[in-house]
């Protein structure tokens, strides 16, 4: 598939944020990117290749390599900032009014930019949600972030968030979601749809299949992949996009893997494909704790 076809597919597969912003449904994650200096040039090239193809959402966090990921992303997007929908995340211990501003400023410094398109609370800690929301709203008012959201929140957490002042300004919730981890489908995914808040799916490829080996070896998945002239993990990625309300952010440290991820946007799974995948990887029959890595 040539670059024009890939870019067109990414333009057609989109997710809409509550404020009406449309984003490509496949972005780029950066967990573990920046950890090994010997891979720096390769990882920067991978991120830039993703931008060339139209994978404009880049997600990072102050936790990733204790800032090393943000620094590498900053280098990768130098001179290209206007092309990027830039996302970072704050540690829960930095989510209070006294610390969130400084945490955000530190992230901005490492990224070499003056504002984030989206700033997330990485997971819940001891800081009351109302205080975190107030801090996020202040950052927004100051122009340091354009919108904010959360990560690793289950349904009860989202309900609580909606009960605090301005809590419903949350733009997204980033959670673990892949074909082998479907727990959010029991109630969280429906909650998001009802409230018009998209989900960001991290590790949508189960970290290259390492979290669920069956994504590489399952017979039904391989058969569907052969039918679509694709790799099993490309089918798994295409599967996460099927609802139109999920933005997947697979991590890829090599340009070839970035291209493979981008090509998944062009895969149209038939009802029979989805039925076979449901049989091979059943959805949840009961409420389970939120899957977090």
Torsions phi, psi for 223 (to 5 deg): -65, -45
DSSP state of 283: P
CB 237, CB 205: distance < 8 Å: yes
CA dist 91 and 106 (Å) reads 12
CA triplet 147, 153, 154: central angle to 5 degrees? 140
Q: Is 64 a catalytic residue?
A: yes
CA dist 198 and 193 (Å) reads 7
Neighbour tally for 152: CB within 10 Å: 21
CA dist 258 and 49 (Å) reads 7
CB 62, CB 14: distance < 8 Å: no
- SS3 at position 7: helix
Task: Please report the sign of the dihedral spanned by the C-alpha atoms of residue 235, residue 238, residue 240, residue 243.
Answer: negative
CA triplet 283, 284, 290: central angle to 5 degrees? 115
Please identify which of the residues 64, 119, 177, 202 carries the catalytic annotation: 64
CB 106, CB 159: distance < 8 Å: no
Instruction: Give catalytic residue positions.
Output: 64
């Amino acid at each position: 598939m040539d670059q024009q076809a890939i870019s067109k597919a990414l333009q057609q597969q989109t997710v809409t944020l509550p404020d009406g912003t449309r984003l490509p449904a496949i972005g780029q994650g950066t967990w573990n990117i920046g950890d090994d200096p010997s891979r720096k040039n390769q990882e920067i090239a991978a991120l830039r290749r993703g931008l060339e193809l139209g994978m404009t959402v880049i997600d990072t966090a102050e936790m990733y390599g204790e800032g090393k990921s943000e620094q590498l992303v900053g280098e990768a997007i130098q001179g290209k900032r206007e092309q990027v929908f830039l996302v970072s995340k704050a540690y829960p211990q930095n989510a209070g009014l006294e610390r969130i501003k400084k945490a955000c400023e530190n992230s901005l410094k490492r990224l070499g930019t003056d504002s984030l398109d989206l700033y997330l609370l990485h997971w819940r800690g001891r800081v009351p949600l109302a205080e975190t929301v107030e801090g996020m709203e202040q950052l927004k008012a100051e122009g340091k972030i354009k919108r904010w959201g959360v990560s690793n929140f289950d349904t009860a957490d989202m309900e609580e968030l909606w009960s605090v002042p301005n809590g419903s300004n949350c733009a997204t919730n980033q959670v673990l979601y892949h074909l082998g981890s479907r727990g959010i489908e029991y109630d969280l995914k429906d909650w998001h749809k009802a409230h018009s808040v998209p989900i960001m799916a991290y590790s949508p490829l189960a970290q290259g299949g390492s979290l669920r080996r069956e994504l590489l070896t399952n017979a039904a998945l391989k058969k569907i992949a052969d039918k679509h002239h694709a790799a099993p993990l490309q089918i798994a990625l295409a599967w996460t996009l099927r609802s139109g309300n999920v933005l997947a952010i697979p991590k890829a440290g090599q340009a070839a893997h970035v291209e493979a991820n981008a090509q998944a946007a062009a895969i149209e799974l038939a009802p029979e494909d989805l039925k076979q995948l449901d049989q091979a990887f059943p959805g949840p029959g009961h409420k389970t704790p939120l899957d977090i890595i």
